[in-house]
Structures are given as structure tokens and as C-alpha cells.
Amino acid sequence: MPSSGSPPAWAWSDVDVAVPHPSRRLPGISMAGFRQRTPALWDIAMVVHPAVTLLVDLSEDEGAVYDVHGRHQRGSVAVGLLPGGLRATGRARVECLQVRLDPVVATAVLPASTELTGAVVSLEDLWGRDAGCAEDRLRAAVSWDERFAIATEILGRRPADRRIDPEVVHAWRRTLTSRGRLRVDGLADEVGWSRKRLWSRFRSQLGVTPKRAARLVRFDHAAHLLAANHTPASVATASGYVDQSHLHREVSAFTGLTPTAVAAAPWLAIDDVAWPAPPSTRTR
């Protein structure tokens, strides 16, 4: 979730980042812990990612405030796919556990996850009293390893909220592995459905249409190439855009930023640390 505009009052060199050991990671679930060493005033424009995100505020003092389209949420939140103009601000030393859920996993473990699309809601609204209990357990943990274990246990024991069609799961996985470059007609042929049926089932179960999902995945790939100092022209070609102008329009549509601003985003500068990818999927 990168940022742009005037630089924040802090730098990533002042933030400790923790990640689970690879052997403890669950399929479709990624976690990272962030802790500022010193208090600071900061303001980040957060950018879409092809995942449903839980931000669990573990700060001892005033935590982060999230603003999407003028609506504010404080504390622990769930961020659905395509949240739009989302900003996070803070005035103290923030400590946070961030959990990224593959949309297929999110649909299974989060109540009404498809209704989160384009929205940010408090974790309490989503989980009720369980949210406060989870925060208390995580805050009392003595290490990030313990926190990751607690979060894994909490997510693992939540009852499956909805069933996902295998065809929808396959279409989503293929969208990811193709980096958003497969057409909906091709996906429909692969699963043996009509285009209309795939469109309807995909949208009702994951909260976005197959085409929108492909655009999001393609943008995410392009954003990471930009952050790795590739030129916009080469990124457009590598990501399957018609030309550099097409890339510019898509970056603007998803972030309100320019490709140059996305390339300079401080969050992406530590992406390989906070969200390490398997060697076979690295592009940088």
C-alpha cells in the first residue's frame, strides 16, 4: 500500500518489520507486523492490492485513523477489495498487525466479505466481541512470533462463512498466475461455463467481476515493476497494457497517482521484506 504526495514525517528506517517463518505461513494468508520506534505524525495514501486486508491496531496510545471518501474509522479495520481513495493517518507510535487474505480465503472466513468491496469497516462490526478478545490476546503477546501464532489460530478456527465454487476458485487462481492477462471468455471455456455464468458466480462469491479482478491483478504486477525502477514504457509492455498511456490511465484509475509517484511509494520499497514472495513468482 504505497503513498504519494508530501513525504510523511517518518521513514521506513524508523519502522521495525516482522514476518512469520516460511514454515508457519498458511495458503492464502500473509502477515506482517509493523512497529514505529519513535512517535511521529504521518499521512499515507494507501493503494489497492488484490487481497482483503485486516489491520489490527496494537498501539498503546492513539492508533491509526483510516479515511475513505470522507468516512473515518479508527483502530482495527477490515479493508475490502478496491477501497478507493483510502488514507491512513497517525499522531503517535503505531504498532500494527496486517493480515492479507486471498479473496477466496476471505470469503470462507469473514462474514459477508463480498460486502466489503470498496469499503473499510471496523473489525468490531465484522467480528463483534471476538474482535476485542483478539486484540487483547495479540497485545498481551510477548513477541511477534507469538502474535502470528495467535492470529493463525484465530483465523483457522473461524467457521466457513460461505462455499466457493471450484470453478470460481480456478478462475481466480488462473487470474493470479497469468497476472491478469487471461480474457474472461478463456476462463469460462476452461471451467466449462458460459461467460455470463462465470461473471455472475465470480462476482457474487468474490465481490468483484472477473474483468475487474484481472485489472487489479495486472495493476499490482505493474506497480511492483515500477517500484523496481523499470521505466513506465517497459512496464506497460511487460504487464500487457496497450501502451504507456494505457498504463498511466489504469494507475490513475486505481490510485489517483502517476506511475512516477507509485514508483517512489515508500511502502513498496520494503515490499520484499514485509510480503516475501516464493522465488518462482518474483519479478524484481
pLDDT in tens, 15-48: 888 999 887 778 889 999 988 877 777 777 677 7
140 and 176 housed in the same domain: no
pLDDT in tens, 90-140: 776 778 999 999 999 998 888 777 788 888 889 998 888 889 999 999 999
206 and 118 housed in the same domain: no
Q: Is residue 1 part of a domain?
A: no
For residue 156, how many other CB atoms are within 10 A of its CB? Answer: 10
140 and 267 housed in the same domain: no
Cα distance between residue 251 and residue 222, in whole Å:
9
pLDDT in tens, 217-241: 999 999 989 988 899 999 999 999 9
Query: What pLDDT is attached to residue 274?
Result: 75
* Domain assignment of residue 109, given as a range: 12-157
114 and 175 housed in the same domain: no
pLDDT in tens, 132-160: 999 999 999 999 999 999 999 998 877 66
14 falls in which pLDDT band (50, 70, 90)?
confident
pLDDT exceeds cutoff 90 at 70: no
